[in-house]
Amino acid sequence: MATNASIARAVAPRRGVGRSLLLTLPIALWSMLMFSQGFMRASRATKMASLLTIVFMVALFFQMMRTSETYRWRRWFFVALGFLFPVGFIYNLVAARGTMGIPIEEMIAGRTPFCFIPIPMIILPAAFTRSIIFPSSILGNNGNTAGIAVMVGLWFALSLVMGKGWCSYACFFGGIEEGFAAIPKRATVKKINPRWRYGPWAVLLAIVLLSFAFFEPTYCMWLCPFKAVTEYVAARNLVGVIQNIIFIALFLGLVVILPLLTKRRTQCAFFCPFGAFQSLFNKISIFDVKINRELCNDCLVCRNVCPTMAVNAESLAKGETHMACMRCGACVDQCPKDAAVWHIKGTPIAVKPERARLMYIYGAWALAIMFGGSILAQSTATILHFFM
Amino acid sequence: MKIPTAAFGYTLGGVTLAVAVLTPFLLIGLFANGFASLGLHVDEVYSGGPIVRTVNAQGYTVAIHRTVVPHLLQRGETFVQLDWKPVGALPPHMNELVDIDGDGQPDVRVSFDVPKNPKEHLHADIDALNARYRTVHGIGRDAFTSMIVRADDAILVRVPLAKGAR
């Protein structure tokens, strides 16, 4: 795959240090506000973890301002989130339960942590029967889990701001495959049938209907690759063993091996039903990424670097990205002609794209600090506890 | 008249930024409370359903839940959950007649051991005393609709109903 990072960097405008610092100041203040509670805690590890997270997030934002690039700085955060989230999560699980397996007692007590992925699956059963088909608690459970309501509230607020940018700034799973995709210099598998792009929609349709029919979160029970690194169904019988084999096979295939071979986020691009569902928020988000046809020379660098195949010849001809665009900024950063631009709907494409980028990045990064940053701090504190 | 779409776009962009700033202080709570106020509940196959009656025994109570009927293609069978608590007040071996429907006549006999080690697996025998319930022996925790588990300070037993019973 052709990655034209050097070209992009050469043409990317660079701001002065002073101006970059000034633009970073609101984010620095926001970070301190978000982590002020971390400093009030007695634990030295928590204080240190909060400080490290602030420095990390502010430094990355400063680089975004200084270089006018988004993708590679965001990727540092996102990969760190993807790899650190399981550390804190597993540690807490093992400390509380002694195992990563979900015992039936915990399900009945409503203590299964609710992540965002079941959200599309719970809609139809809730609409028709008022039942949430997930063994958790709506209002939280004695501080052990945040509760479904808080997770839904958080997801909805973040989605209003980020659109499908959720998949680039908030999803604590996507960073794992983005990390693996970043390892090879070139893709081994370059030709991918574009029809695979419809995979997530097919999985979404299937799991929504199956979840409604069988009244269980089908994806979580059978298909979630990330069960391999979070919590899995306790293998009490043959069915449980089969479920765990599926989780591990999907994780190895879609999250490790294929990203290494293709340099793409294959789980997100070809499988993740939540990503497909989240694409709908791109329709209501005011921000998008456009291709300026007057500047574009159809070099297809944007198509080649897009982690989710959201750009192809068809979308380029229309001057836009597909719904699967997750606002990662890869195409914008790497376009040698500056034809791929951040954009606010309703505004002219060629006029002040950096303004659109700043408006999007401020909102997305502020929420990334609040949500992903707190996960980073928590997981870092977990690690530091062993040394301090 | 030309619609000022650019101004509208920038205004909405600004509103989105405002939404981001308000999210941790206001909006998460607002949306979470909105979701919580929809009157939804966790599916009763998981939660066991609401408690309809509590029977006081010697130092402990038996809470009787409403009958839970699985949805159309949902796995499992119709059941009633019984909670014995607190565990500390239960005898080492429980063998109790339970009047589930409150008609003054016992419906099932439930017997199980109460081990001191909370992590020890439990097994129960349920003997149906009328045709509404199903006799099952040696149930563990393999199925949501017919099982015995220890959850916090209670021992929960799910009594399966006979086929066709409601």
pLDDT reported for residue A144: 54
Query: Could you tell me if A168 lies within 8 Å of chain B, comparing CB atoms?
Result: no
> Which sequence spans correspond to the domains of chain B?
1-40, 44-160
CA-based nearest residue to A227, from A315, A328, A102, A338: A102
Q: Is the pLDDT of residue A2 over 70?
A: no
- Torsion sign across C-alpha atoms A293, A161, A211, A144: positive
Give the model confidence (pLDDT) of A111-141 as tens digits: 888 999 999 999 999 999 999 999 999 987 6
Q: Is the pLDDT of residue A13 over 70?
A: no
For residue B45, list chain A residues with Cβ-Cβ distance below 8 A: 215
Of A107, A214, A285, the CB nearest to B74: A214
pLDDT reported for residue A102: 84
Of A131, A136, A346, the CB nearest to B5: A346
Size of interface A-B (CB pairs under 8 A): 158
Window from A86-100, A190-204, A290-304, B86-100 with minimum mean pLDDT: A86-100
pTM of the model: 0.92
Yes or no: say if A59 and A85 are a contact pair by the CB < 8 Å rule.
no
Interface test with B, best of A32, A36, A108 (most B CBs within 10 A): A108
Averaged pLDDT score across all residues of chain A: 92
Helices (H) and strands (E) in chain A, counts: 21, 5
CB contact under 8 A, A215 and B71: yes
pLDDT reported for residue A10: 45
Nearest chain A Cα distance for residue B35, angstroms: 6
In percent, the amount of chain B with pLDDT more than 70 equals 98
Of B20, B44, B46, the CB nearest to A161: B20
Give the model confidence (pLDDT) of B38-86 as tens digits: 999 999 999 999 999 999 998 999 999 999 999 888 888 999 999 999 9
Query: Could you tell me if A366 lies within 8 Å of chain B, comparing CB atoms?
Result: yes
Give the model confidence (pLDDT) of A205-219 as tens digits: 999 999 999 999 999
Give the model confidence (pLDDT) of B90-118 as tens digits: 999 999 999 999 999 999 999 999 998 88
ipTM of the complex as predicted:
0.89
Q: Is the pLDDT of residue A3 over 50?
A: no
CB contact under 8 A, B46 and A108: yes
Give the model confidence (pLDDT) of A194-251 as tens digits: 899 999 999 999 999 999 999 999 999 999 999 999 988 777 788 889 999 999 999 9
pLDDT reported for residue A175: 96
Amino acid in the structure at residue A204: L
DSSP-assigned letters across all residues of A82-140 = HHHHHHHHHHHHHHHHSSSEE-HHHHHTT-S---STTHHHHHHHHHHHSEE-SSS-SS-
Give the model confidence (pLDDT) of A33-57 as tens digits: 999 887 777 789 999 999 999 999 9
Return the number of other C-beta atoms located less than 10 Å from residue A194's C-beta. 13
CB contact under 8 A, A132 and B41: yes
Angstrom distance (rounded) from CA A112 to CA A149 = 14
Q: Is the pLDDT of residue A288 over 60?
A: yes
Amino acid in the structure at residue A324: A
Q: Is the pLDDT of residue B158 over 80?
A: yes
CB contact under 8 A, A104 and B147: yes
Dihedrals phi, psi of A57, to nearest 5 degrees: -70, -40
Domains of chain A listed by start with CATH number: 1-99+353-388 (no CATH), 101-282 (no CATH), 286-351 (3.30.70.20)
Return the ∠ at Cα A115 (arms to A372 and A130), rounded to 5°.
140
CA-based nearest residue to A376, from A150, A132, A79: A79
Mean of the pLDDT values across residues A52-71? 97
